[in-house]
Amino acid sequence: MASPMRIRAAAKEGVTEVRVLMSHVMETGQRKDSSGALIPAHFITELTAKHNDKVVLSAEFGPSVSTNPYLAFKFNGGAKGDKVAVTWVDNKGETRTDEVQVS
Amino acid sequence: MNNQRRDTLKAGGSLGMLGLLAAVGLIKPEMAQAAWNKDAFDAKDMDAALAAVGAGKPAESAEISITAPDIAENGAVVPVGVVSKLPKTEYIAIMIEKNPAMLAASFTLPEGTAADVQTRVKMGQTSNVFAVVKADGKFYMTKKEVKVTLGGCGG
Amino acid sequence: MRKQLIAAAIGAGVALASPAVFAQQDLNFDEYRAMLEDGNPAELYEMEGEELWKTARGPKNATLEQCDLGLGPGVVQGAAAQLPRYFADADKVQDLETRLMYCMEKQQGIDPAEIVNGKFLQGERRQMAALVAYVVGQSKGEKIAVDLSHPKMKEMYALGEQAFYYRTGAMDFACSSCHSQDGKRIRATQLPNITKPEGAAAGWGSWPAYRVSNSQFWTMQHRLWDCFRQQRTAEPIFASDVTIALSVFMAGKGNGAEAQWPGVKR
Span B37-86, pLDDT tens digits:
999 999 999 999 999 999 999 999 999 999 999 999 899 999 999 999 99
Q: Which of C35, C37, C38, C44 to mutate to test the interface with A (most CBs of A within 10 A)?
A: C44
Is residue B126 within 8 Å of residue B147, measured between CB atoms?
Answer: yes
The neighbouring-strand residues paired with B80 are B119
Position B11 pLDDT exceeds 50: no
C219 vs C188, more confident = C219
Minimal CA–CA distance to A2: which of A98, A99, A101?
A98
Alpha helices in C117-150 (DSSP H): 123-137
Instruction: Tell me which DSSP letter residue C29 carries.
Output: -
- Report yes or no: C101 and C219 within 8 Å, Cβ to Cβ: no
CB within 8 Å: B23 and A95: yes
CATH number at residue C146: 1.10.760.10
Contact C29 B71 (CB under 8 A): yes
**Among candidate residues C162, C144, C150, the one with its CA nearest the CA of residue C220:** C144
CB of A18 within 8 Å of any CB in chain B?
no
User: What is the model's pLDDT at position B71?
Assistant: 93
- Residue A73 DSSP code: E
Cβ-based contacts under 8 A for chains A and B: 141
Q: Residue B134: phi, psi to the nearest 5? A: -110, 125
Confidence bin at B94 (pLDDT 50/70/90) = very high
Q: Is C199 contained in some domain?
A: yes
- Alpha-carbon span C146 to C132, nearest angstrom: 17
The whole-angstrom separation of Cα C80 and Cα C69 is 8
Burial of residue C185, with CB atoms counted within 10 A of its CB: 0-12 exposed, 13-18 middle, 19 or more buried: exposed
Distance CA C266, CA C36 (A): 10
Mean pLDDT of chain C: 90
Residues of C with CB under 8 A from a CB of A: 38-39, 41, 43-44, 47-48, 212, 215
Q: Following CA atoms B146, A45, B139, B144 in sequence, which dihedral angle do they give, to the nearest 10 degrees?
A: 0
Per-residue confidence (pLDDT) for residue C29, from 0 to 100: 86
Do the Cβ atoms of A74 and A16 come closer than 8 Å?
A: yes
Mutation to test the C interface, candidates B74, B80, B118, B122, most C Cβ within 10 Å: B74
Partners of chain A (3+ Cβ pairs below 8 A): B, C
Q: Does any domain span residue C16?
A: no
User: Could you give the number of structural domains in chain C?
Assistant: 1
Domains of chain A: 6-29+38-101 (2.60.40.10)
Give tens-digit pLDDT for C9-41. Answer: 444 444 443 333 435 556 788 889 889 988 999
Going by C-alpha positions, the residue among C235, A18, A15, A16 that lies closest to residue A6 is A18
Alpha helices by DSSP H, listed for C54-95, are: none
Residue B4 has pLDDT above 50, yes or no: no
- Closest C-alpha to A76, from A24, A3, A17, A30: A17
Domain containing C182 equals: 32-265
Angstrom distance (rounded) from CA A91 to CA B32:
9
Alpha-helical (H) ranges within C54-210 are 96-108, 112-116, 123-137, 151-165, 175-179, 197-204
Residue C175 lies in a domain: yes
The torsion angles phi and psi of C164, rounded to 5 degrees, stand at -60, -35
Within a domain: C138: yes
Chains linked to C by 3 or more Cβ pairs within 8 Å: A, B
Q: Is C67 a catalytic residue?
A: no
Cβ contact, residue pair B71, C213, below 8 Å: no
Between CA C181 and CA C195 the distance in angstroms is 8
Bridge-partner residues for A17, per DSSP?
Answer: A10, A74
* Residue of A19, A21, A72 lying closest to C41 (CB–CB): A21
Which H or E element spans position C17? helix C2-26
**What average pLDDT is seen over chain B?**
84
Q: Is the pLDDT of residue C209 over 60?
A: yes
Mean pLDDT of A78-96: 97
